[in-house]
């Protein structure tokens, strides 16, 4: 299957002929249209290759800190293995409320928080909450492919809105965005800092987008998972939290995965106006029926005692970002601007137009794992993505291999 | 919100008026239509009440066995905290394949198995796989309310098909079922042994249903989560596995929750024809992006080394079933037939017509937690459900309290 994110949803299934086999053709159009992840395709190609430096996935090289693991293991040993509250246990939701006060200087009560089974799950619930089948959800591209794919599986129509590329940087055209939001648009998905581009919306842009969505009566789904990974003068990226009221139609989706090196835990959360609480409780009930309580105990340790670890992660990313950028910019054949946020380099290599083939070839010949830009939808096709949240020496070696590969083209 | 399962889906959202507030009215119809769980409503009413015997939820009183917890804790301590394979790690899928050979005498290769984030998640993926928005999914009632609710959230239309009640027992009318499957029907959901009724399909009924669905080109979603909890002469209930070929259009959904006392782990699986594997990989990717690897290590211990524990659970359930049944049948005011499978008593009390109010009242006056039949859709409204997978002395005491309550009406 192709590695790109889906566009418009496929036509409805026709009634299958009696006696047909079990195959894929008998499934729903939405299931058949869900693409294989273009990121995973390259990972499968290079899985467990000796000496390969894997920069393909969106995760760092550190396992979860011990104090977090021990909190979960202690709860498991204490027999906390029963069904638990659908929206998350109160101490975790209190910890999240405290975290928002500390990091974002906003007061959001416990009732605004719902614990989810990953950031992905938070996105899916948000999409189901605000779109009916056939409704449109506009999203900025290049984008993480799971967002449009999950939207399409839910029955809604993901509509890409490309950022404008300008000398390796990315810009949001607010006038064009206003035109792109039609009466069919129920939600705008904004991921800032952005995976894969590293684009970060300014506070003025966020205010303008909020104003636009208020006027057009469009929900905002704000994916600010990377807000702590910001390389500007502040400790974090600008956030819709800085400009929106708690009662605004903004649903924030987030995850423990990146900040606290918990990608393998599948715990996330969402923040929404308090009066939507019962609806999100129901959507949790009818999708995964809650998050394991003993995992939530680990998440409590992360949110309450993990600030210093996040700071270390960000410092590591910033150092690796410099090294990676410097080496590749010294190469004459690589076009790269250091990202303003997140932990990805999104770059072009002169002479490469088919990045999907190139990513597979770079595995084979440079022994570095990258993600192909084709995985990220309109506007990203000519790029390659490298995750640099990793030991500096490995990132440096990977950059040298990529530069050598580019030089030999 | 009402506690019953949803019927036909609500009408599509109209375009909201500009300037409206954030409230629930601005959400999608499908999100607003998702009902509060009628089971959870009673639990919330009686939560942490001193001395209450909780028979309301579908879980036993034993925490997860130590050998399972330790396998997960060991993996966590070993740093297995990264992203993992979307369909589950190979050793777990191999363990599942072995389990089916051992328990069901069928050969299903690894490629047929997908690990999911709960049985609920398996059901949601199966519904999305076989229905497009607007398609109908027929299910037997009384039923676990999450099935129709999840179907409706996914955009499809759940259509109840009531079993026929006969002196406290339940029967499937195959002729009427044939008529209920229309050209709009894409799937039939069969839960046998049934939660809440305890009904168990005979092998002949399963064969007839399979034949019917083959002729009508309708998928079967087989929820056989309770198959080991069977009180007939065999060690397990009849299964579609006994009559269907691996290539038949049957998707089996299952869970570690009940057999191995892992309700709080949120790990399940599904079995489907092997050629659907990539589709289920994609559906996992775009819903929760996989199950934590360290939880899967616990699940491996369960599936490989947990047969004896399951036997103990079944023996406990059988003993408690006898005690519970005996006491309540001695009461003149209770109508109860011992269930053929699962671990619920589904019974009527003379004079009670509003079971939702009665369940709340029984919490207050008898200090026993039950689920109201109104939670289980058409045909179950007059019943109360009690989960008896619990220490016999507690089940006995609960039965005495219910009998006393009934006698005092």
pLDDT in tens, B17-47: 333 445 899 999 999 999 998 898 899 899 8
Model confidence at A177, in pLDDT bands (50, 70, 90)?
Answer: very high
pLDDT of B22: 59
Asked whether residue B13 carries a pLDDT value surpassing 50, the answer given is no
The residues in A 295-324 lying below 8 A from B, measured between CB atoms, are 295
Q: What is the pLDDT of residue B11?
A: 33
Second-level CATH architecture of A27-64+309-407: Alpha-Beta Complex (3.90)
Identify any residues that bridge with A40 across adjacent strands, giving them in sequence order. none
Cβ separation B1–A278 shorter than 8 A: yes
User: Per-residue pLDDT for B365 more than 70?
Assistant: yes
Check CB contact of A16 with chain B, cutoff 8 Å: yes
Mean residue pLDDT across chain A: 93
pLDDT over 90 for what percent of chain B?
A: 91
Q: How confident is the model at residue A103 (pLDDT cuts 50, 70, 90)?
A: very high
Q: Which residue of B has its CA nearest to A65?
A: B79
Question: What value does the mean pLDDT take over residues B226-252?
Answer: 97
Half-sphere exposure (CA, 13 Å, Cβ side) for B160? Answer: 22
B390 touches chain A (CB under 8 A): no
Kindly report the CATH class assigned to A66-305.
alpha beta
Closest Cα of chain B to A17: distance in Å? 7
Comparing CB atoms, the residue among B84, B283, B292 nearest residue A31 is B283
Query: Burial of B51 by CB count in 10 Å (0-12 exposed, 13-18 middle, 19+ buried)?
Result: exposed
Query: Helix, strand or coil for residue B102?
Result: helix
DSSP state for residue B132 in the 8-state scheme: -
Chain A residues whose CB is inside 8 A of the B17 CB are 217
Q: Which of B360, B298, B367, B318 is nearest to B44 (CA)?
A: B360
User: In A158-292, which ranges are continuous DSSP H helix?
Assistant: 174-180, 203-216, 277-285
The pLDDT of residue A20 = 41
Contact at CB, A149 and B286, closer than 8 angstroms: yes
Q: Would you say residue B327 has pLDDT above 60?
A: yes
Average pLDDT taken over every residue of chain B: 93
Above 80 in pLDDT, residue B354?
yes
C-beta atoms of B153 and A186 within 8 A: no
A45-78 residues labelled b (16+ CB within 10 A) or e (exposed): ebeeeeebbbbbbbbbbbbbbeebbbbbbebbee
* Interchain pair A283, B34: CB under 8 A: yes
The answer to whether A132 faces chain B, any CB pair under 8 Å, is: yes
**Given pLDDT bands bounded at 50, 70 and 90, which one contains residue A41?**
confident
Residue intervals in chain A for CATH 3.40.640.10: 66-305
Nearest chain B CA: its distance from A409 CA (Å): 33
Whether residue B196 is preceded by a cis peptide bond, meaning omega within 30 degrees of 0, is yes
| Mean pLDDT value across residues B100-118 | 98
Confidence of residue A16 (pLDDT cuts 50, 70, 90): very low
pLDDT category of residue A47 using cuts at 50, 70 and 90: confident
The candidate with the shortest Cα–Cα distance to A381, out of A343, A349, A354, A351, is A354
Verify whether the Cβ–Cβ distance B247 to A131 is below 8 Å: no
What pLDDT is stored for residue B23 in this prediction? 83
Average pLDDT over residues B230-245: 96
CB contact under 8 Å between A130 and B263, yes or no, is no
B278 contact residues in A (CB cutoff 8 A): 1, 24, 36
Residue B137 has pLDDT above 90, yes or no: yes
Question: What is the model's pLDDT at position A22?
Answer: 58
Q: In what order do the strands lie in the sheet with A384-387?
A: A334-335, A344-349, A384-387, A371-372
Of the partner residues A18, A281, A288, the one whose CB lies closest to the CB of residue B215: A18
Q: Is the pLDDT of residue A334 over 80?
A: yes
With pLDDT > 70 as the criterion, what percentage of chain B qualifies?
95
Q: Would the pLDDT of B4 be above 90?
A: no
Query: Does domain B24-64+309-407 match CATH 3.40.190.10?
Result: no
Q: Is the ipTM of this complex over 0.90?
A: yes
Measured between beta carbons, which residues in chain B are less than 8 angstroms from residue A133? Answer: 30, 133-134, 155
The residue-averaged pLDDT of A12-24 equals 47
Mean pLDDT of A10-21: 36
Alpha carbons B168 and B170: distance in angstroms, whole number: 7
Smallest CA–CA separation between A29 and chain B, in Å? 7
pLDDT above 70 for A13: no
Flag if B286 and A17 touch (Cβ within 8 Å): no
Q: Would you state the pLDDT for residue A326?
A: 97
Q: Is B40 on the interface with A (CB under 8 A)?
A: yes
pLDDT digits (tens, 9 = 90+) for B162-206: 999 988 799 999 999 999 999 999 999 999 999 999 999 999 999
pLDDT in tens, A205-241: 999 999 999 999 999 999 999 999 999 999 999 999 9
* Interatomic CA distance for residues A250 and A210, integer angstroms: 9
CB distance B36–A80 less than 8 Å?
no
CA-CA-CA-CA dihedral for A376, A380, A384, A388, to nearest 10: -70
Q: Tell me the average pLDDT across A403-408.
A: 96
Q: Which of B300, B293, B241 is nearest to B94 (CA)?
A: B300
Spell out where B64-195 has E strands: 113-116, 136-141, 157-162, 164-166, 169-171, 185-191
Alpha-carbon torsion angle A273, A278, A282, A283, nearest 10? 0
Contact A297, A267 (CB under 8 A): no
Query: Which of B86, B288, B296 best tests the A interface by mutation, with the highest count of A CBs <10 A?
Result: B288
Q: Touching check for B17 and chain A: CB below 8 Å?
A: yes
Q: Using CB atoms, pick whichever of B83, B266, B273 lies closest to residue A263.
A: B83
Asked if the model's pLDDT at residue A10 lies above 50, the reply is: no
Report the residue of A12, A214, A292 to disrupt the B interface, i.e. the one with the largest count of B CBs within 10 Å: A292
Is the Cβ pair A288, B286 closer than 8 Å? no
State the CATH architecture for B81-306: 3-Layer(aba) Sandwich (3.40)
A119 Cβ contact partners less than 8 Å away, ≥ 6 residues apart: A223, A225, A253, A254, A255, A257, A268
CB-hemisphere CA count at 13 Å for A210?
21
Proportion of chain A above pLDDT 70, given as a percent: 95
The pLDDT score that the predictor gives to residue B7 is 34
Q: Is the pLDDT of residue B53 over 70?
A: yes
Tell me how far CA of residue A175 lies from CA of A78, A180, A212, B384, in angstroms.
56, 9, 10, 59
Q: What was the pLDDT predicted at B204?
A: 98
A81, A131, A214: best to mutate for the B interface, most B CBs within 10 A: A81
Which residue in chain B is spatially nearest to A285 when comparing CA positions? B146
pLDDT category at A4 given cuts 50, 70, 90 is very low
Does residue A176 sit at the B interface (CB-CB below 8 Å)? Answer: no
CB atoms within 10 A of CB A184: 13
Report the distance separating Cα A266 and Cα A120, nearest Å: 9
pLDDT grade for A166, boundaries at 50, 70 and 90? confident
Q: Write out residues 177-206 of A within 8 Å (CB-CB) of B.
A: 183, 186
CATH 3.40.640.10 in chain B, residue ranges: 81-306
Looking at chain A, which residues constitute the CATH 3.90.1150.10 domain(s)? 27-64+309-407
pLDDT grade for B2, boundaries at 50, 70 and 90? very low
Chain B contacts in chain A segment 249-288 (CB below 8 A): 249, 261-266, 273, 275-276, 278-279, 281-283, 285-288
- Please indicate if any CB of chain B lies within 8 Å of the CB of A2: no
The B residues from 50 to 79 touching A (CB cutoff 8 Å) are 57, 59, 63-64, 69, 72-73, 76-77, 79
């Amino acid at each position: 299957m192709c590695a790109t994110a889906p566009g418009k949803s496929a036509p409805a299934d026709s009634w299958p002929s009696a006696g047909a086999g079990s195959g894929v053709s008998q499934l729903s159009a939405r299931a058949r249209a869900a693409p294989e992840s273009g990121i995973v395709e390259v990972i499968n190609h290079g899985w467990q290759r000796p000496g390969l430096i894997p920069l393909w996935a969106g995760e760092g090289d550190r396992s979860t800190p011990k104090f977090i693991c021990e909190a979960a293991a202690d709860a498991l040993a204490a027999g906390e293995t029963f069904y638990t509250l659908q929206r998350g246990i109160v101490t975790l939701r209190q910890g999240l409320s405290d975290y928002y006060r500390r990091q974002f200087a906003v007061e959001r009560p416990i009732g605004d928080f719902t614990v989810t089974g990953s950031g992905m799950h938070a996105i899916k619930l948000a999409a189901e909450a605000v779109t009916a089948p056939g409704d449109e959800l506009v999203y900025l591209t290049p984008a993480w492919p799971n967002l449009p794919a999950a939207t399409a599986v839910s029955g809604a129509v993901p509509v890409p809105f490309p950022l404008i590329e300008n000398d390796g940087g990315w810009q949001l055209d607010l006038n064009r965005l206003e035109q792109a939001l039609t009466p069919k648009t129920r939600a705008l998905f904004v991921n800032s800092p952005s995976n894969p581009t590293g684009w970060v919306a300014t506070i003025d842009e966020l205010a303008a987008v909020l104003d636009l969505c208020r006027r057009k009566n469009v929900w905002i789904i704000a994916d600010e998972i990377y807000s702590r990974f910001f390389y500007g003068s502040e400790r974090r990226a600008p956030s819709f939290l800085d400009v929106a009221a708690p009662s605004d139609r903004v649903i924030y989706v987030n995850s423990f995965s990146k900040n606290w090196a918990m990608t393998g835990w599948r715990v996330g959360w969402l923040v929404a106006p308090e009066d939507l609480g019962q609806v999100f409780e129901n959507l949790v009930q009818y999708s995964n029926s809650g998050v394991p309580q003993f995992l939530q105990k680990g998440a409590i340790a992360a949110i309450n005692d993990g600030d210093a670890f996040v700071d270390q992660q960000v410092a590591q990313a910033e150092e690796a970002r410099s090294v990676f950028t410097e080496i590749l910019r010294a190469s004459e054949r690589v076009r790269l601007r250091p990202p303003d946020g997140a932990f990805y380099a999104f770059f072009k290599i002169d002479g490469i137009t088919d990045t999907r083939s190139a990513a597979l070839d770079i595995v084979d010949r440079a022994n570095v794992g990258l993600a192909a830009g084709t995985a990220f939808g309109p506007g990203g096709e000519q790029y390659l993505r490298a995750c640099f949240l990793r030991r500096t020496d490995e990132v440096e070696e990977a950059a040298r291999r990529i530069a050598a590969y580019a030089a030999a083209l």
